[in-house]
Amino acid sequence: MSRVRQQTHSRGEESFRVTLEQSGLRLHLAHLAPKTTGPVEQHRTVLYIHGATFPIALSIGFRFDGHSWMDDLAEAGFDVWGLDFLGYGGSDRYPEMEAPPETNPPLGKAAGAARQITKAVEFIGEHQGTRHVSLLAHSRGTLPAGLYATTHPERLDRLVLFGPVALRRQEQPPKGQPPAYKDVTVEEQWQRFTGYLPPGESPVLEKRHFDLWGLAYLASDPTGEARMPPSVRVPNGFEADFAEAWSGHLAYDPGKVRTPTLIVRGEWDSITTDADARWLWKALGSVPLKREVLISRGTHVCHLEASRFQLYREVETFLKGNDLAQPKGVAQ
């Protein structure tokens, strides 16, 4: 097993720092054990894969009025894990993030992120004595998660693609390549999140929640307050991944996925459009079971919004399984 550092927090969360052998950089894994007595049920280990601009502590781990999605899954009996990709949250930063952004190619593209998922799954398997996990991935995180699913189907129970990136061919690839990283302010996040809302609709993201979220977001980058304006520096591989996907080059082939898969998104999701979801549904032609769920009054970030409990319940139901016919002679 790789070199590991562990820390236990209040409310039962654990943090692990797992070293990547080739680079020596360390990944952060958050863990919350199931809030039930007795051993973890088989097929109940879940690994969350975050999106483009904010880490696990601001997504599955952020507590709205004292309750997070991570808490919710643990209360439902799941052994819950979250991975911060390199450059985010509790993971190490790429050394290139200290150089001018134009001097290096975009950092953290899907292929490298998929290798980080491989490392995380290997560690979880060794630490928990299990061979299988389910992946719960959001937005840009669905690209490395999908790629991992095509190369390691034997390690997966279920795959949840929340607000997934899909293939489009209507856009031309940009000339040149994006910079290595970008700096994102809290105000930019507020404008982005509220900008997802259709005109005339009442807010679905409470400002009081976002104010706390914004403080925690800045705190997720140890250098964030030193910049003017204060910001969070994130690897920019996601921008390259999006550009490639929307100009005809998706990071993985959905036809090679063999794992039961859920596509879930908000009804007002402008990143995952109706056409995107239809394409992905058809492209997932080899999975034994697939399901698509639309969350009412939800946007691309409905895990931060009033509709989040709809999302929790739909994902929990899918992850619990019990929806495939058993071969004859196999006990239910």
What structural domains does the chain harbor?
Answer: 4-197+204-320 (3.40.50.1820)
Task: Tell me if 331 sits within 8 A of 166, measured CB to CB.
Answer: no
**Which helix (H) or strand (E) covers residue 30, if one does?**
strand 26-32
pLDDT of residue 169: 87
Distance CA 261, CA 157 (A): 9
pLDDT of residue 152: 98
Residue 9 backbone dihedrals phi, psi, to 5 degrees: -110, 180
- Give the model's confidence band at 21: pLDDT under 50 very low, under 70 low, under 90 confident, else very high: confident
Among 173, 196, 137, residue whose Cα is nearest residue 315 = 137
Q: Which DSSP string do the residues of 51-111 spell out, in sequence order?
A: -SS--GGGTTT--BTTB-HHHHHHHTT-EEEEEEPTTSTTSPPPGGGGS-GGGSPPSS-HH
pLDDT of residue 227 exceeding 70: yes
pLDDT of residue 37: 64
- Give the model's confidence band at 1: pLDDT under 50 very low, under 70 low, under 90 confident, else very high: very low
Lowest-pLDDT choice from 2-6, 106-110, 268-272, 327-331: 2-6
Helix (H, G, I), strand (E, B) or coil at 281: helix
- Give the model's confidence band at 305: pLDDT under 50 very low, under 70 low, under 90 confident, else very high: very high
Question: For residues 96 and 177, which has the higher predicted lDDT (pLDDT)?
Answer: 96
Q: What is the pTM of this model?
A: 0.94
Q: Cα 242 to the chain's mean position, in Å? A: 15
pLDDT of residue 3 exceeding 60: no
pLDDT of residue 121: 98
pLDDT 10s digits, 28-78:
999 999 987 665 566 699 999 999 999 999 999 999 999 999 999 999 999
pLDDT of residue 328: 62
pLDDT 10s digits, 173-212:
677 889 999 999 999 999 999 999 999 999 999 999 999 9
pLDDT of residue 323 exceeding 80: yes
